[in-house]
Amino acid sequence: MKKTLITLLVILIAIPSFSKKKPNVIVVLADDVGTGDISFYRKKHSQDIKVETPNLDKIASQAMVFTNAHSPAALCAPSRYAIMTGNSCYRSDYPWGVWGAYEKSPLKEDQLTLGKLMKEAGYNTAFFGKWHLGGDYRRKDNPEKIYRGPRWKPELEVDITEVIGGDPLSNGFDYSFMYPAGIQDVPYAVYENNKWMPLADDSEITFISKENMLKKDVKLDKSEGLGDSNWDAHNMGPLLVAKGVNYINEQASEKNPFFMYYCSQAVHLPHTPPDSLNGIAIKGTTPSHHLDMIKEMDVQMGMLVDALKENGEYDNTIFIFTSDNGGLTFKETMETGHRPSNIYRGGKNQIHEGGHRVPFIVSWPNEIKKGSSDEPILGLDIMSTLAHISDLTIAENQAMDSHNLWPILNGSKNAKGHPYLMVQGGTAKEVAIIEDGWKLIIQIDKKDKTDNTRTPKALFNLINNPGEKQDQNKLNDPEQKGRVKKLFDKYNRLRDGKEVTAKR
């Protein structure tokens, strides 16, 4: 077997003085939540709030709130790879994402993950919710073989009773409560420690059809296929948070601190809010089911925080909240007056700011500075930040793009984020490099191999034009010719040369 390349060494230099017991850590990765979906952020620009998020607002009021935070990509799957590994999306063997639960995972055996990092630091580690990083399942007709199949038709030759690889447990997590593709796609089943967890006593593996789901008022977002006969997306959020709360209750009495990576099902399609959660009415209490789901997500956050407080663990817990990509700008949502992307152009699946500018909130009572930072950061910075707080360092060939945010969180003078950002769009195959307030959007062709397949597409000054108004596209401005070339050449050099961009 190839020798592991992961090397974690104790830092021998002086570090900040933390509590005697290492802090617990909860990282929440919401699904399709933009800055405008969190009322704390939205109120910075408008008082016309269509859905309040009181629990997250309360956390934010006592935390460090980043206003220039970005997901690594404007779509879920590539972002999840980057956040899990601390590497930009383009370092993956599948830079534009692994979209099927039965596909080969982009996570390699010798690759550092959040789970492996925190386990090395002495934490009890747990994964909750949407995985969306592929996985290995046996074939029905030959259990000795791993199933791989076409996604353009229902996949029925796969044994979904167990996940045997490419899963949280094989990536450093001691416990896993997993929805392989969230609530959006096959398999429509829940897995506890890689085993199918029947949703009811009479559950069986069956074919989940669009027709049968409509009887439960669930409109499938993706494929028909195999799943639990009692699958109902309305129940998946309440089930997920109940498991999360139970985990906090169990871990509170343990000697070691815990690390929870909580990947909410909200607010991805299908928009299936529960009638109520934690005694709070959800369904039908906002202008749309989409906004109902935002409310549900906020109630989930309140339940996690309440569990921490009830167990006396809140003050010694780092709580990080962010999203895998920008918000959903559906016509029905926009007609309510709600603005998922706040003041920014576009939303999920787009290279414009609304596609990748996301909320990023870090709370650790009495230990980090409270307030707001406009330093440019990325979701994949979570890796190096937790490594620093956990007294670990990361090998140079791991987490190659993850910056340590502790100096900003600690209020250190002149603390900085990334000197430049490299982000990825969605299905239009666009990327961007942002430096000194200037954003160059680059079109990449389907092959996506070298700089010969890339073309500058737009140049915006985000300082003067944060909404990226098209009439202020400076790409063909003679005065900006040198800037376009500089940014374009820098992007190509960094990407093709696989250079380390991390600042640790």
502 located within any domain: no
pLDDT at 19: 44
For residues 490 and 374, state if they share a domain.
Answer: no
Do 489 and 407 belong to one domain? no
pLDDT on residue 446: 76
Average pLDDT over residues 201-205: 98
Peptide bond before 267: cis, by omega within 30 degrees of 0?
yes
What average pLDDT does the chain have? 95
Judgement on whether residues 360 and 490 belong to the same structural domain of the protein: no
- State phi, psi for 248 to the nearest 5 degrees: -60, -45
What average pLDDT does this structure show over 462-479? 98
Banded model confidence at residue 21, pLDDT cuts 50, 70, 90? confident
- Domain final position from 373, 389, 418: 418
Residues 35 and 94 in one domain: yes
pLDDT for 43 beyond 70: yes
Residue-level pLDDT at 451: 65
- In a shared domain, residues 105 and 247: yes
| Six-digit token string for 107 | 């996570």
Distance CA 497, CA 450 (A): 10
Q: Within this chain, do residues 405 and 437 fall inside the same structural domain, yes or no?
A: no
Give the angle 293-82-262 at the CA atoms, nearest 5°. Answer: 40
pTM for the structure as a whole: 0.95
Q: Which residues contact 276 (CB under 8 A, 6 or more apart)?
A: 282, 283
Is the per-residue pLDDT at 18 higher than 50? no
pLDDT at 15: 41
* 488, pLDDT greater than 90: yes
Report the domain count for the chain.
Answer: 2
* Residue 364 is assigned to a structural domain of this protein: yes
Q: Which pLDDT value is given to residue 445?
A: 87
**Are residues 406 and 442 located together in one domain of the fold?**
no
Report yes or no on 217 lying in a domain.
Answer: yes
CATH number of the domain that 398 lies in?
3.40.720.10
In this structure, the answer to whether residues 190 and 322 fall within a common structural domain is yes
Helix (H, G, I), strand (E, B) or coil at 54: helix
Q: Say how far apart CA 93 and CA 79 lie, in whole Å.
A: 14
Decide if pLDDT at 209 tops 50. Answer: yes
Helix extents (H) in 11-64: 39-42, 54-61
Indicate the residue among 418, 442, 465 that finishes a domain: 418
pLDDT at site 452: 73
Whether 96 is in a domain gets the answer yes
Q: Is residue 5 part of a domain?
A: no
In this prediction, residue 20 carries a pLDDT of 52
Structure confidence at residue 292 (pLDDT): 98
Say whether pLDDT at 1 is over 70.
no
Assigned domain for 13 exists? no
Tell me whether residue 16 is in a domain: no
Q: What is the pLDDT of residue 449?
A: 67
The pLDDT of residue 477 is 98
365 in the same domain as 472: no
How do residues 102-128 score in pLDDT, each as one tens digit?
999 999 999 999 999 999 999 999 999
Same domain, 208 and 286: yes
**DSSP 8-state class, residue 179:** E
Residue 115 makes CB contacts below 8 A (sequence gap 6+) with: 125, 127, 168, 171, 172, 173, 259, 261
Q: Which residue has the higher pLDDT, 11 or 265?
A: 265
pLDDT (average), residues 259-287: 98
Which residues, listed in sequence order, are joined to residue 259 by a DSSP beta bridge?
Answer: 25, 125
Q: Which domain holds residue 464?
A: 429-497
Instruction: Name all contacts of 449-456 with Cβ < 8 Å and 24+ positions apart.
Output: 450/496, 451/492, 451/496, 454/488, 454/491, 454/492, 456/484, 456/488
Grouping H, G, I as helix, E, B as strand and the rest as coil, residue 123 is coil
Is the pLDDT score of 410 beyond 80? yes
pLDDT at position 450, please?
A: 65
Q: Output the pLDDT for position 447.
A: 75
| Range 150-158 average pLDDT | 94
Alpha-carbon distance 125 to 419, whole Å? Answer: 32
In a domain, 10, yes or no: no
The answer to whether residues 448 and 410 belong to one domain is no
In terms of domains, do 286 and 267 share one?
yes
Task: Name the percent of the chain lying above pLDDT 70.
Answer: 95
In the listed set 377, 393, 418, which residue is the last one of a domain according to the structure?
418
Q: Are 161 and 296 in contact (CB under 8 A)?
A: no
